[in-house]
Structure formats: C-alpha cells, structure tokens
Amino acid sequence: MKIIKKEVNKLNQDELSAIHKIEYNSNSTIFQELDFNIIVSRIFKSKLILLLAFQNKILIGFCCFHEKRIGILLNIYQSGLSQYSNPYGGWVYGLNSTNLTELLHKTFFINPLYSFHYLSAPFVEDKVFHEYQSSIFYTNTIDLSLSENEIFHTIISKNTRHNINRALKKGVSIESLNVTHINIIYNLIKELNTSQSKITFPIEYYSGIIEFYQSKNQCLILASKYKDKYLSCVLFLRNKYFTHAWIAGRIHELPKNIYQNEAIHWEAIKWAKHMNCQYFDFCYLYSQRQFEQQDIKQINIAQFKLGFSKQIISYYSLDRVGIIFKIISRLKKWFELFHL
C-alpha cells in the first residue's frame, strides 16, 4: 500500500469519483466525508489536505486533515475538528480492502516533521487504539434495524417514553425548519452557547451546512414550540449509515417540565429510520476522564441521552508527534526561555 498527501484543490476527477464511491460503500460518518470538510475548511479558512491510500494504483481509502503550519518546517494535521463541533474524523476505506492498523501505522510515519491529532469515529477497531496512548470518548446509539415499536417500548426507557407523551399532552408542537429560518435557529444556538459559556460560530457555518445537506435530504432541523414561542431546536445530519444529533439550541429560561427535547429526538429517530439509516447517534456522552471524575454537568447531559439508549460505543483521539517535529519544538522552547 502507498499513501500520498494531496491538497483538496489538486484532486482530479477520477480521484473525486473514487472518494465518493468509497464514502458510499463504507461505514463512515458524515463528518469524515469530503463535502463536510470542504465546508469547514472554507468557513474557518483551514488548509484541507487529504491522505490517499492506493493499492495497485487503485484508491482504497482517504482521510481528511486540516493543516496548521508552525514556522517554515513544522505542520500539525488534525483529523476531525472538535473545536468546530466536528465530533468525528479518521480514515474512510472499503471494509474488505485494508485495515485501520496498517493505515494508522503508515499515517504516523509519513513524515518526521509532522504532528498528527487523530480523531476516530464510532465502531472502529478498538484494539488498534490500545496500541497507542489514546484518549477515550463515548457516545450512544440506537440500532435502527429494530422496528419503531421495538425501539419505543424496549430500547427507550419508561421515563423517557412518558416524557415524550407528556410533551405532546402539554401542548408542545414539533416543527421542521429549513435554511430560511436560519435567524431563528442561530439565535437559539447562540442563546444556549452563551448560557454555557461556549463559542457560537459564524452564522455562515450553520447556514452553509444546512443549505448543502437539506438540498440532498441529509439534514433535518426540528424545533419545539409552546404557546407560539420557539423553545429549542436540534440539527440532525445523516448519511446512509448514521443519523447524528449534531447541534442544539434553546432559550435560556425554559418552562419547567414540558420535555420538549424528548419529543424532538423521538421525531428525529423516526425520520432516521424512514431514511433507512442503520444507526441513530447521539454524538458524545462523556470522555473517560469526565466519567472517572464524575463531571456532574456532563453526566446529567448524558443521562438524558441514555434515556433513549443504553448502547454505549467508544471512540478515540490520539496525538502522534514526529521525532524531528518534537526535537525542533523543544529547541524552540529552550531558545525562547534563554532569550527571556
């Protein structure tokens, strides 16, 4: 197997066609796909680089990385940009063409001047990451091969089922929004992020994702409404394998005990099943560290999601620093300290 590095704007038509074919035939997430990373690169002005894996001159896998240059020589490559709400990353490849162990080994030894921050996706080969010093994260999923009735009565907890019904009885309605409602969506996202001291990204980021994926029937935006007022919204993105509960927004002062988000997620689960997706993904429960330290805030958020499914899946992040990158970085730090 041979791996080459290529800028996104230098991909030829044959390579682009092969990439989209690999995406369709793999079990990847939408966040690993080329189109999503192109939008992220355009909005946040990162340099998008692809590693392309060839076997006998046939493209069998690719991985999107966002490049950050440090000085003249050093490069940092990030697969998945969690700081931009891109929760997953990593190699996309045909399941019968290669394996993740070989791909990661060749990735990390491609150049000693590079530093890699590699973020994986769910349902990866866990044993691969046990060979490296990895951070562990968890999400939970629903197997959509089950019937709607089975999901509701055997996977979703009794309390969450009651809350879904309570929301409807209390007069909560669920509406589907689109890019023409971007100001409503953006204001809800911003209000939630402000209350949690989180960054809200430019409106162009959300509108770009919504417009692109709604045109392909791969984006659903559901908003809850109560007494003619929008309370919350959630953006869901899908490919043929996963539907992800991606971005949420809500007003700061919510009416108590109306369970609007339970109702939103149940509608989204039914949509994902109707779209013939294989899994519904709640996009992050907690990290291993948060779980061990019993981070109360994150554990409480996780409890809401776990009310829908107890199927917990791990995914990983790891940093791999080239030997020359490490030496130059240390020399640079010593030089800066000496001149202080």
Residue 2's pLDDT is 92
Could you read off the pLDDT of 1-43 as tens digits, one per residue? 899 999 999 999 999 999 999 999 999 999 999 999 999 999 9
- How would residue 325 be classed by pLDDT, with cut points 50, 70 and 90? low
Residue 158's pLDDT is 97
Distance CA 187, CA 86 (A): 20
Mean pLDDT lowest among 50-54, 145-149, 304-308, 336-340: 336-340
Residue 131's pLDDT is 77
Distance CA 225, CA 326 (A): 53
What are the residue ranges of CATH 3.40.630.30 in the chain? Answer: 145-277
Mean pLDDT of 108-126: 77
Residue 219, pLDDT above cutoff 60: yes
The SS3 call for residue 1 is coil
User: Which residue intervals of the chain are DSSP H helices?
Assistant: 13-24, 34-44, 100-108, 126-130, 148-150, 158-169, 182-195, 203-214, 260-274, 288-292, 296-306, 323-339
Residue 119, pLDDT above cutoff 60: yes
Mean pLDDT lowest among 81-95, 158-172, 271-285, 301-315: 81-95
Q: Which residue has the tokens 């779209």?
A: 275
Residue 335, pLDDT above cutoff 70: no
Nearest to 51 by CA among 112, 85, 1: 1
Which of the four CATH numbers 3.40.630.30, 3.90.226.10, 3.40.190.10, 3.30.499.10 does domain 145-277 have?
3.40.630.30
Element (H, E) at 59: strand 58-70
Is the pLDDT higher at 132 or at 267? Answer: 267
Mean pLDDT of 327-339: 60
Residue 309, pLDDT above cutoff 70: yes
Residue 95's pLDDT is 74
What architecture does CATH give domain 2-136+316-339? 3-Layer(aba) Sandwich (3.40)
Mean pLDDT of 211-230: 97
- How would residue 118 be classed by pLDDT, with cut points 50, 70 and 90? confident
Residue 112's pLDDT is 65
Residue 152's pLDDT is 97
Q: Are 29 and 85 in contact (CB under 8 A)?
A: no
Residue 226's pLDDT is 95
Residue 97's pLDDT is 76
Residue 216, pLDDT above cutoff 90: yes
Residue 193, pLDDT above cutoff 60: yes
Radius of gyration from C-alpha coordinates of the chain: 21
Query: Around Cβ 142, how many Cβ atoms within 10 Å?
Result: 23
Range from 57-71, 120-134, 222-236 that averages highest in pLDDT: 222-236
Could you read off the pLDDT of 71-116 as tens digits, one per residue? 655 567 677 666 667 889 999 998 777 888 888 888 877 666 677 7
